[in-house]
Amino acid sequence: MSIKNAAPTRRPADRKAQILAAATECFHRSGYHTTAMEDIAGAVGITAGALYRHFRGKQELLSRVLLDGVDALAAQLAEAGDLETMTRTVVGFALDHRSLPMLLERETRNLAEQDRTVVLERTRAHADALAEALRERRPEVDEKSALLVAWCTLALMTSPSHHDVSLPRPRYEALLRAQASALYRSAVVPCPERLTPAPRPTGIGIAPVSRREALLTAAIPLFKQRGFQQVGMEEIGSAAGITGPSIYNHFAGKTEILDTALRREAEVVQFVLARALAESPTHRDALRSVLVSYARLSGMRTSATPLLIAEIAFLPPEQRDRLLRVRNGFVLECVALLRGMRPELSEGQAAVAMRGALVLVNIASRKPFLLEDGVPAEVLADLAMDALDFDPAPARRGRG
């Protein structure tokens, strides 16, 4: 047969689905800003030109990934009905779409305003549905407390997106469901008076005298709100009240500011851990002390903890690897505390459960719409401890 008469190559019917799946993995692995359309096209096995025939650009791809994800979960929750079925639904969805929850947490800010609003509204609807189902089971729980537990449970159930620890699927599902059930039973939530933080002084605090500290203090909120690549040195200087080239007397550039902020936060977390280990009489006391401090730190306006998730990719490999080693060391110490508190747990169970509790604290401490003044650190720590007091029997039955 001649080339002239050869049948034309046909596009696969599921090409768009392939592109969205590849985009999800690329965005999860490398971040939105460091992923190019060519990277996504290469992952699919097509040219960038062919990719543009399906999507106008990278932001449209991100919008489709996130909107399709939140809509798919919403449709499944609408059919679930009761709290137990909803829990199974979210856990199954989170493990089937393990990249999506981190993308929602990290990349929603990069959407166009209209799409960002829709994604946030629909994500909150997931929490509203869980909160309503919880109140049907526990009518004594007030609306505010139920919503807090719903957000904490969602963070915990979707926590596998934030780490790469593996378990056999039936055991993984059973463990996450057991932790969710422990949160639903929590004795913290029927006490709305605990959700009232201590009165704060008026104002936003005292500005540092040091220009170097002023630049750090100004940069962290900007990086969190808009992303490392979207913020310029001049903008940081202006926010700190420093203009002109003198800002470079303190930092060589944005990368040094980011590295300094993350390194300092890692050192604070290590200090918190060391103090808890030295001063606590039991593993349980030490772990709660660490979680209280971690919740307090994560909820601060100037906390760099979210940057460890969202912006660490912009550091040079040596600095990035050093910070990840410190972070992993902290998590492993927490896992060891949990196993000291609950020696019946396997190493895998403890690793998954502890990471879920840390994700719970990290995410819930940064949801200002839950409570006007934030959630008290002690409340978040106690909810996390409840999640760690899960019944291991369902998880063992999940061996399948």
pLDDT, tens digit (0-9, with 9 covering 90-100), for 133-149: 999 999 999 888 899 99
Residue 9 lies in a domain: no
Residue 316 lies in a domain: yes
Q: Which two tokens stand for residue 283?
A: 């593993």
| Residue at a domain's end among 137, 161, 188 | 137
pLDDT bucket at 196, cuts 50 / 70 / 90:
low
pLDDT of res. 4: 47
Mean pLDDT, all residues of the chain: 88
Looking at the fold, whether 121 and 219 belong to one and the same domain comes out as no
Residue 331 lies in a domain: yes
pLDDT bucket at 376, cuts 50 / 70 / 90:
confident
| Residue at a domain's end among 113, 137, 161 | 137
Q: For residue 164, give the nearest of 309, 311, 351, 312 by alpha carbon.
A: 351
Packing angle, helices 100-107 and 58-80, rounded to 10: 120
State how many domains the chain has: 2
Looking at the fold, whether 379 and 244 belong to one and the same domain comes out as yes
Q: What is the CATH number for 117?
A: 1.10.357.10
Looking at the fold, whether 272 and 390 belong to one and the same domain comes out as yes
Looking at the fold, whether 354 and 250 belong to one and the same domain comes out as yes
| Residue at a domain's end among 102, 137, 172 | 137
Q: Report d(CA 61, CA 280) in Å as an integer.
A: 49
Residue 182 lies in a domain: no
Residue type, 392: P
Q: For residue 61, give the nearest of 18, 117, 7, 91 by alpha carbon.
A: 18
Rg (CA), the chain: 23
What domain range is 341 assigned to? 210-397
Looking at the fold, whether 111 and 220 belong to one and the same domain comes out as no
Q: Do residues 388 and 164 lie in contact, with contact meaning Cβ atoms separated by under 8 Å?
A: no
pLDDT, tens digit (0-9, with 9 covering 90-100), for 45-85: 999 899 999 999 999 999 999 999 999 999 999 999 899 99
DSSP at 69:
H
pLDDT of res. 3: 43
Task: Flag whether pLDDT at 396 surpasses 90.
Answer: no
Looking at the fold, whether 265 and 351 belong to one and the same domain comes out as yes
Helix (H) or strand (E) holding 317: helix 317-341
Residue 197 lies in a domain: no
Residue 149 lies in a domain: no
Task: Flag whether pLDDT at 202 surpasses 70.
Answer: no
pLDDT bucket at 373, cuts 50 / 70 / 90:
low
pLDDT of res. 7: 44
pLDDT, tens digit (0-9, with 9 covering 90-100), for 93-133: 999 999 999 999 889 989 999 999 999 999 999 999 999 99
Q: Burial of 267 by CB count in 10 Å (0-12 exposed, 13-18 middle, 19+ buried)?
A: exposed
Task: Flag whether pLDDT at 5 surpasses 60.
Answer: no
Looking at the fold, whether 258 and 342 belong to one and the same domain comes out as yes
Task: Flag whether pLDDT at 38 surpasses 90.
Answer: yes
Residue 106 lies in a domain: yes
Residue 323 lies in a domain: yes
Q: Do residues 391 and 182 lie in contact, with contact meaning Cβ atoms separated by under 8 Å?
A: yes
Task: Flag whether pLDDT at 194 surpasses 80.
Answer: no
Residue type, 25: E
Looking at the fold, whether 107 and 220 belong to one and the same domain comes out as no
